[in-house]
């Protein structure tokens, strides 16, 4: 039903948007409305709100969707990337009053209310996104506290008191507390064709049916990443961000994977130290935060983007093959290309919107990574070949080359 309870979104630059509450904003604590605080960012995807809301990389952020209407297909239990919604708040132009989907088990508002995630709709999201593009991502607060209890100026002051995303080690907050195994494959969503999905590769020198042993340093991984690895005949052993090189070596892995996650990569020192010790000794693949951590471990530097790359329509050029991929992305930090080259890295992918680094390989060690999400669901599958490249690298134990990239990308395109 249409909500009439009022809510506000206050930004650190003094802007205040007035709208209507939904989700966790409908709750009250001691008779007072709920508040959620974080860095306000925007995502340009047309769908996939459920996957975005459960992407742990959004921890500490208030997510704004640029598409006009959200909630029209409800919530399906199969479409989550982590245990629960993890954003600090959610902002949409229009909340659908209909959840039309045979797989839906809940409405978007009820789901967010159960999770305690504050949300607001009925504001001009075009004006909000324009402000974020011009001024950059800003700290903000969603509040359903009545105006009589907290003025607009008070909310702005609270927004300005929120800690900056720069210097925030949020990966330590979302990383699992203990190790485990992930065993779920893609199932009916698996692509048919490609290099390895059909043939189920076997590690060299082992009996038929043997599986690749992959250790994943989990800094807030999306489940669909692990599903892609399992689909390609990998046993995935995930470890917390505190894992040491000795713990990784003890598992005798064929490959090492570094996951996505939230926050400033430069302060995730435990992972950086471990990677300095072990990366390259084992064939290594990183995605998003994992890409940044690998670069930092090699000696490169990172910097904070003005408003980040978040959406399912981001163009990237593969410099090794010349092909353009439409990718799904979610990050606010970037690797400095000059420092990466000085550290022995070679750019493999470039973001075509702004020319920033989107992927690299090491010229002498079996290490490669990308800034974006090849496992995107929903989203483009142009980059799923990268999982096949990882399999090939584990098989050969050599640095990934242009031939492997070209072969895997061509096979995916032929599906």
CA distances from 13 to 9, 152, 399 (A): 12, 12, 47
User: How far apart, in Å, are the Cα atoms of 348 and each of 43, 135, 174, 176, 330?
Assistant: 25, 30, 29, 31, 19
Distances (CA, A) of 9 to 63, 127, 170, 389: 12, 13, 23, 44
Domain segments of the chain as ranges:
6-160, 171-413
pTM over 0.75: yes
CA gap 55, 186 in Å, rounded: 18
Helix pair angle (223-231, 385-396), 10° resolution: 60
Q: Is 188 a catalytic residue?
A: no
Backbone angles phi, psi at 111, to 5 degrees: -65, -45
- State the maximum Cα–Cα separation within the chain, in Å, rounded to a whole number: 72
- Lookup: tokens for 390: 């990882």
* Coil, helix or strand at residue 390: helix
CATH top-level class of 6-160: alpha beta
Cis peptide preceding 378, ω within 30 of 0: yes
| Distance, CA of 52 to CA of 41 (rounded, Å) | 12
Give the active site residue among 12, 39, 51, 375.
Answer: 375
Which of the listed CATH numbers 3.20.20.70, 3.40.50.720, 3.40.50.880, 3.40.228.10 matches domain 171-413?
Answer: 3.40.50.880
| C-alpha atoms less than 13 angstroms from C-alpha of 162 in its C-beta half-sphere | 28
Give 314's strand partners: 327
pLDDT at residue 139, as a whole number: 98
Please tell me which residue in 373, 381, 392, 404 is annotated as part of the active site.
Answer: 373
Q: What is the pLDDT of residue 1?
A: 45
The helix (run of H) or strand (run of E) holding residue 359 is strand 357-362
Check if 288 is active-site. yes
Is 375 in the active site?
A: yes
Residue 192 CB coordination number (10 Å)? 7
Catalytic hit among 86, 219, 234, 288 = 288
Phi/psi of residue 385, each to 5°? -60, -20
pLDDT 10s digit of each residue in the chain, 415 long? 455 799 999 999 999 999 999 999 988 766 667 899 999 999 999 999 999 999 999 999 999 999 999 999 999 999 999 999 999 999 999 999 999 999 999 999 999 999 999 999 999 999 999 999 999 999 999 999 988 789 999 999 999 999 999 999 999 999 999 999 999 999 877 766 555 555 678 888 788 889 999 999 999 999 999 999 999 999 999 999 999 999 999 999 999 999 999 999 999 999 999 999 998 899 999 999 999 999 999 999 999 999 999 999 999 999 999 999 999 999 999 999 999 999 999 999 999 999 999 999 999 999 999 999 999 988 899 999 999 999 999 999 899 888 888 888 888 877 6
């Amino acid at each position: 039903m249409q909500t009439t309870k009022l809510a506000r979104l206050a930004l650190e630059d003094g802007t205040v948007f007035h709208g209507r509450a939904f989700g966790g904003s409908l709750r009250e604590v001691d008779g007072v409305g709920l508040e959620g605080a974080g860095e306000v960012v925007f995502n340009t995807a047309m769908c996939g709100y459920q996957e975005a809301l459960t992407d742990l990389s959004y921890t500490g952020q208030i997510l704004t969707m640029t598409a006009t209407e959200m909630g029209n297909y409800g919530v399906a239990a199969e479409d989550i990337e982590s245990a629960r919604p993890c954003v600090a708040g959610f902002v949409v132009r229009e909340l659908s009053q209909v959840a039309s989907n045979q797989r839906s088990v809940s409405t978007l508002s009820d789901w967010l209310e159960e999770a305690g995630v504050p949300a607001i709709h009925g504001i001009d999201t075009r004006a909000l996104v324009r402000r974020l593009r011009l001024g950059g991502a800003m700290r903000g607060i969603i509040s359903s506290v009545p105006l009589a209890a907290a003025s607009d100026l008070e909310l702005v002051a609270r927004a300005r008191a929120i800690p900056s995303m720069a210097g925030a080690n949020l990966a330590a907050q979302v990383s699992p507390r203990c190790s485990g195994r992930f065993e779920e494959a893609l199932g009916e969503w698996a692509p048919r064709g490609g290099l390895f999905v059909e043939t189920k590769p076997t590690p060299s020198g082992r009996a038929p049916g043997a599986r690749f042993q992959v250790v994943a340093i989990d800094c807030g991984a999306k489940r669909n990443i692990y599903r892609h690895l399992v689909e390609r005949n990998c046993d995935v052993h995930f470890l917390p961000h505190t894992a040491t090189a000795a713990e990784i070596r003890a598992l005798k892995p064929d490959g090492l994977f570094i996951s996505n996650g939230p926050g400033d990569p430069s302060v995730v020192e435990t992972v950086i130290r471990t990677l300095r010790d072990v990366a390259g000794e084992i064939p290594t693949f990183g995605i998003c935060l994992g890409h940044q951590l690998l670069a930092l471990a090699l000696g490169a530097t990172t910097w904070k983007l003005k408003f980040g790359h978040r959406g399912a329509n981001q163009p990237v050029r593969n410099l090794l093959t010349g092909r353009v991929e439409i990718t799904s992305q979610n990050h606010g930090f970037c690797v400095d290309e000059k420092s990466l080259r000085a550290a022995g890295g070679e750019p493999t992918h470039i973001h075509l919107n702004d020319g920033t680094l989107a992927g690299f390989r090491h010229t002498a060690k079996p290490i490669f990574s990308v800034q974006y999400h090849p496992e995107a669901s929903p989203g483009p599958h142009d980059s799923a070949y990268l999982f096949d490249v990882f399999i090939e690298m584990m098989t050969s134990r050599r640095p990934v080359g242009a031939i492997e990239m070209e072969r895997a990308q061509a096979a995916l395109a032929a599906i």
